[in-house]
Structure 1
């Protein structure tokens, strides 16, 4: 689909999602350098942006070693020339056929399991030419989402069964410590990360005592990877993702500075409601998402660039209501048609609302990125070339 690229960020159609390429490159370089200093592999999660261009930056141009969260993402990146892809949703029978296709076509495709159902699904699914499934045990280190409890006997039993399966190459253990998003402060995050590493090391030791080797010990959320614990180098892989953009939530947690947030939503004033001391913008929940509203964080769930006193107080599908912490809005300062820029609470959720990103360097728009969308792989993935330099 052709699209005329506007010359500057002030000329973009609204609402739209803006990506600051210079900040993204700095965020990626900092995370890659941190992993290198620790001596661990950097396996970035790509679900925050879901673009080939973003994946290329995160992998340093190698197009190798990424994490995806849907089969559509896996297919999209495989079609785009990416290899060594880890599908980070526990395997179930309903996803076996899609995973078989990817495992057969890629040199390295990895799956997770966290149940007897998952292990049995792998054991009863063959790959071509005698190839084995590359599989890791997904463990729960306290997040209470997916994963078998890290300190349980079930973890040992499942890993051992996968290790002994003729068509499975058991690689190790994987965790996503999503509960790190409840921890605020650098020192607290580092202590939290230290405890996560200790839990994985203890499990690996228990597994090795039963004859099950762990070649991969993988962990990492953006909060724990932004300020890694001193023992993080004892892992083999870190797999953060949200650091690519950062956002208002991660700023409030102390994971980044405002200068690190590499995405914004551009919006324009569309109406004045002087009787209510509000104006309306053309960015509603379809452009921003609802994340952060329930938390009511200090300063609001999203942040208006250059206007600290503005607050988004309500979101409809296509419009947002804005007021001020001052006594009265100056409507002359915010005339109809004025463009405003919003830093989102949750970058990944906000990005997922937009079918196109406008990429800029400074004020100049340099091109567009088109993310993949949806959950189910499509047969017509044709990666488009977009200007991203």
Structure 2
């Protein structure tokens, strides 16, 4: 692609990032938890780029969360350390985890079952190093983790604590149930419940003789609308906030003005007989996340609340008015539409390059890492 100066001249579909808004999102989260006295450990899964990571960490290149070993290796190769691989330990990836543990000053893995711990014991680290392990606690989110009310949670923590060659670093909980919330009050209720459960579990650890381990919860909604008791935690680990998206605005994490990411698409067809436009953005440029449940379909078409992205195939999108007849003269062939994605993480995964701009002028291109 020939170099262009302005986003309006990009070949489409293209993912664009408003650098000024993204920096405001990053600075807001850093300041929020600096004020609370809690360490921010930002999650890299939304963007998977070096440049964005530098902004999220304030340039420290330390204390991050990743969801894939491809991300972990990418950041390690670029001078990052204190990396937490926050994913239930996959047995086929133990050797890759060992290599990163032996290479970095602080690489951490996560377990939520006895068998995963046994896999670590089978692969002792070299030169007297020990595995740095976080235990995942399920605080009613219902994804990974040992249920907090199950006696097995404390038993596993004790087993990690007592295992030679392994160090229990902390207790990690994802309050993903905030994604079912609508509004600040509901978000704060879930954040409070999750925080309370984790802090109560930390008290159980203390009573059992386990001391000096960290506590961490996180999700973009809970960290965008934190409760005072979160100041008692060691860390938080949100990620999506760097871009935000339509979903987060509906939950109550942000306003639409906070969303820093868009997908540009062009009109490629007029079909008056079915009252539709065709655009060059299919699901491979946006994703199907959200299921078209918005009143405007799969995305918000910026500046055109009367339009709906009705459906997408791999490379095509169908756009029609929410009601009434479409004025095709407003949307000539080749004209540009701007889509605000429902879920920025899924949309970003569809693109091999991000076009970074300030007030419409392209100032950089960022290439995310990919793979597992």
- Please give the range of the TM-score, normalised by the shorter of the 2 chains: over 0.9
> Residue 123 of structure 1: CA displacement?
1.7
Aligned to 2:297: 300
| 1:250-280 deviation line (CA, Å, top 9, x unaligned) | 0111111111000000000001111000000
Aligned to 1:43: 41
Q: CA deviation at 1:152?
A: 1.4
1:350 CA displacement: 0.3
- Partner SS, residue 128 of structure 1: coil
Specify the SS of the correspondent of 2:326: coil
2:312 aligned with 1:315, yes or no?
yes
User: What's the offset of the Cα at 1:92?
Assistant: 3.1
What is the deviation of 1:214? 4.8
Q: What does residue 322 of structure 2 align with?
A: 325
Match of residue 97, structure 2, among 96, 99, 102: 99
Q: Quick one: which of 362, 368, 373 aligns to 2:370?
A: 373
Secondary structure in 2 matching 1:228: coil
Matched with 2:66 is: 68
1:96-245 to 2 correspondence within 5 Å? 96-245=94-243
Which of 323, 340, 352 matches 1:355? Answer: 352
Deviant stretches of 4+, over 2 Å: 297-301
Once residues 118 and 85 of structure 1 are traced to their aligned partners in structure 2, the CA distance between those partners, rounded to angstroms, is: 19
2:78 corresponds to 1:83: no
Structure 1 residue 4 displacement after superposition: 3.8
Gaps of 5+ in 2: none
3-state secondary structure, aligned to 1:130: coil
Cα distance in 2 between the residues matched to 1:4 and 1:235: 49
Q: Which moved more, 1:205-214 or 1:58-67?
A: 205-214
Can you list the C-alpha shifts for 1:309-348, whole angstroms capped at 9, x where unaligned? 1101110000100001230111000010001110000000
Equivalent residue in structure 1 for 2:332, among 335, 338, 347:
335
Q: How many equivalent residue pairs?
A: 372
| Aligned mates of 1:66, 1:271 — CA distance in 2 | 44
Secondary structure of 1:61's counterpart equals coil
Greater shift, 269-278 or 298-307, is seen at: 298-307
* Residue 194 (structure 1) shift: 0.8
Structure 1 portions without partners, runs of 5+: 376-389
Q: SS of 1:175's equivalent?
A: strand
Deviation at residue 90 of structure 1 after TM alignment: 1.1
The equivalences for 1:24-39 within 5 A come to: 24-39=22-37
DSSP-derived class of the 1:218 partner: strand
RMSD: 1.0
Give the aligned partner of residue 285 of structure 1.
283
